[in-house]
Chain A
Amino acid sequence: MSHDQSLNPETMPNEPEKATLEGKNKFLGFWFFLGGETVLFASLFGTFIALRHSTAGGPSADELFGLELVFIMTMLLLTSSLTSVYAVYHMRNNNFKKMQLWFGITAILGFAFLACEIYEFTHYITEYGFTFRSSAFGSAFYTLVGFHGGHVTFGLAWLIGLMLRNAKRGLNLYNAPKYYTFSLYWHFIDVIWVFIFTVVYLMGKVG
């Protein structure tokens, strides 16, 4: 079974990411990996919830957070998830150029999100003196949100690597599962962000 040739639209299977055994294994294995990641983030959330009032005299969540910036970040990341859906839609139609385009837009939105997060962290550190070491709340905040940011950074490096590597040779049954697992990963970090938005920022302002 050879699967390294580019296939034309007439013979490309409906779900190219699951057409080979390797693809099926990757697909299932990646779902399991995300299951493990869920426990990983659950542990971080638990730690954060236990420590979120332990400010040790430093600034509290209510004083620090501004919902405007966080709202913009949420919109950027949610939109990037939507654009990655478009990209997978074009992958299923074997339209490589449009898939690359929409994944490119996904990457740009991801970078915009990351820039906002870096600005946010710098702001807290320089304006409020709120650091990783200043209180248990600070440690828990930067660890939880930073782990998410680290996942975004890794995802962007992964996506750009994929796009550059395959730019000239198009879609085939060997790289389709790779694109697809990336999109799963991207949705996952989007979902994690929704929880961060709720537990860290909304509960910090209201709760």
Chain B
Amino acid sequence: MSIAAAQKRSFGAVLWDYLTTVDHKKIAHLYLFGGGFFFLLGGLEAMIIRIQLIKPENDFVSAGFYNEVLTMHGTTMIFLAAMPLLLGLMNAAVPLQIGARDVAFPFLNSLGFWLFLFGGLMLNCSWFLGGAPDAGWTAYTPLSTTSPGHGVDYYVIGLQIAGAGTLIGGINFLVTIINMRAPGMTFMRMPLFSWTTFITSTLILFAFPALTIGLFLLMFDRMFGSAFFDVGLGGNTIIWQHLFWIFGHPEVYILVLPAFGIFSDVFSTFSKKRLFGYTAMVFATILIAFLGFMVWAHHMFTVGLGPVANSIFAIATMAIAVPTGIKIFNWLATMWGGSISINTTMLWALGFIPTFTIGGMTGVMVASVVADYQYHDTYFVVAHFHYVLVGGTVFGIMAGLHYWWPKMFGRVLNEAMGKLTFWTFFIGFHLTFFIQHFLGLMGMPRRYWVFLEDQGLDLGNLISTIGAFFMAFGVIVFLYNAIYTAVKGEQAPNDPWDGRTLEWAIASPPPHYNFKQTPLTRGLDPLWIEKREGKGEITPAEPLGDIHMPNSSFLPFMMSLGLFIAGFGFIYQVNHNWAYVLLFGGMAITLVSMMIRSLKDDHGYHIPKEELEGEAD
């Protein structure tokens, strides 16, 4: 499908196309737009926090509103911005990297996106319907069970819907990577981004159900009068903390491992070298994921689990520094002696290494139990996790966006603006968060609405807020760059970066069936092998034939919409009888859509061979 043909279609046709699409490349666009929108919201909330803290005893916002803003900033950035943006990049790149025509479950792929979007909208509806959740992104009980109003109810229902979508996405990528790899694409020839997607999906699969149950228990306590966290009836509030962090700690690896994969591909491509220690990189990823499941209690050192439990979790936590260190050294060794070209993508990757290393170092510091009693709930912890989550995940997303933008949208992002974004964001980031280590060490607690003057906190907070404005400027330049590129950007060639992996062997953007003929992989970095042998293109593994494609469907949208409506029913049935109409009506929409999906046969369609012969490569 050529660009010219796409431009002729009406707005309604394009909208309907995106509402019903099951094409992983279009779902990637949806994830990027959805995640990008929530990233801007979360950024706005961050700016409100920093403006409130610009001077002592500020009254820019009220204390209650401040609680809502900091809760929604964390929740939005983790669940509605970072994860969907990563899922967007996975959808855009992974099927192409392994030589597949689509994912294993195109329908579920679309369902996963719509569940995420409606869950996110649900959460943010709370702003307009009586106030947002205000118990922190961790929603510790009993603060969350006793929080008045419906704010925390929106947190529970919104995350439940969005979480279901993520779980579906995880299963989809697991099966895609196991079953859909092209001939010759063995596991140990997969690009690192595909590998980290695979491991991340495993983490999603085994971590998210713990959150699902935690949210159910919280929902039952708040909406149906159960007593899980009600100490008066024998309940136990620590159960929430365990369930939340059994999910929550793997979650941070869900956020950072895909970024590691992106950086691995980027370093290798722009150093014109095979990734150093490929096998070690793969096993380090697996080891991080494995250890990631047995360190959750390091978030609970001050709860009082006892010295034995605390010591075990402290040692397990410190052990994670080993595979992470392996990765840092392998990235450095990949660049060593390479023919390095520095562009915006590479700048984000280069900026990541020192930033993330600082975050890792403070990670080992907070992993030490005795010291953690001092760091706990101070700005030191805030600084630590922003160094790993922004320095790791956000830098990774930005690198990935610049790297795959030509493949996703057919245009190359403007370099000058890209560099301006990087430098303002990078400097702004360190201005904002480096000083927060010291604010924390001086005793400034996190989540407090105001601080008193002349306690040595004034200047540090002012510097931190100035840094936040630099970051906001960088993001605005990036947005302008995206729009400018869409209107005036240069047309992307198939292989703008002299790439090494399969996605660069096909058109930018790829045709909807990806590969006219399934590609044959002859080793790690398959395209590079063909380039070195002077061929420059991938050998097909099959003769030209009919291609089987899945049908589009509006049902994923309807299923998610039904749950969205039913969510309001669950929230308001506590004190309004009319809410049962929404509850049963919404569930009926979802269940009927599921029945239609189940009972109506859907065999997909075939693109005939004759039609393919007419298309250019």
Residues of A within 8 A of B (CB): 1, 3-4, 21, 24-25, 28-29, 32-33, 35-37, 39-40, 43-44, 46-47, 50-51, 54-56, 132-140, 143, 158, 161-162, 165, 174
Contacts and interface: CB of A to CB of B under 8 A. Distances in A.
B199 to A, nearest CB: 14
Contacts of A162: 598
B231 to A, nearest CB: 9
21 contacts: A1-B548, A25-B175, A28-B104, A28-B174, A29-B105, A32-B175, A33-B171, A36-B206, A36-B209, A39-B209, A43-B210, A51-B234, A51-B235, A133-B224, A133-B226, A134-B227, A134-B233, A135-B234, A137-B234, A143-B226, A165-B599
A156 to B, nearest CB: 14
B599 A21 contact: no
A24 B180 CA distance: 10
A3 B595 CA distance: 22
The B interface is mostly helix, strand or loop, or mixed, namely: helix
B214 interface: yes
B309 interface: no
Contact of B206 (A21, A39, A139): A39
B220 A43 contact: no
B377 interface: no
B595 A28 contact: no
Contacts of A132: 220, 224-226
B178 interface: yes
A168 to B, nearest CB: 13
For chain A, what secondary structure do more than half of its interface residues adopt (helix, strand, loop), or is it mixed? Answer: helix
B212 interface: yes
B146 interface: no
A23 to B, nearest CB: 11
B289 interface: no
Contact of B234 (A25, A47, A54, A158): A54
Interface residues of B, number: 44
B587 to A, nearest CB: 13
A138 B221 CA distance: 12
Nearest to A21: B179
Nearest to B595: A161
B159 interface: no
Closest 10 A-B residue pairs measured CB to CB?
A54-B234, A139-B226, A43-B213, A136-B234, A40-B209, A39-B209, A136-B235, A25-B104, A56-B234, A56-B233
A54 B104 contact: no
Given A43-B213, A138-B227, A143 B220 contact: yes
Interface of B: 104-105, 167, 171-172, 174-175, 178-180, 205-210, 212-214, 216-217, 220-221, 224-228, 230, 232-236, 239, 242-243, 246, 548, 595, 598-599, 601, 603
A37 B242 CA distance: 18
Contact of A161 (B226, B233, B599): B599
B105 A25 contact: yes
Contacts of B105: 25, 29
Given A36-B167, A174-B601, A133 B216 contact: no
B226 A36 contact: no
Contacts of A140: 228
A199 to B, nearest CB: 16
Contacts of B239: 46-47, 50-51
A29 B168 CA distance: 10
- Most chain A CB neighbours (cut-off 10 Å) among B235, B598, B603: B235
Contacts of A139: 220-221, 226-228, 235
Given A43-B210, A51-B236, A29 B171 contact: yes
B77 to A, nearest CB: 25
B246 A174 contact: no
A158 B598 CA distance: 9
Contacts of B235: 51, 54, 136, 139
A132 B548 CA distance: 51
A27 B227 CA distance: 39
A139 B221 CA distance: 9
B226 A28 contact: no
B253 to A, nearest CB: 16
Contact of B227 (A21, A33, A135, A158): A135
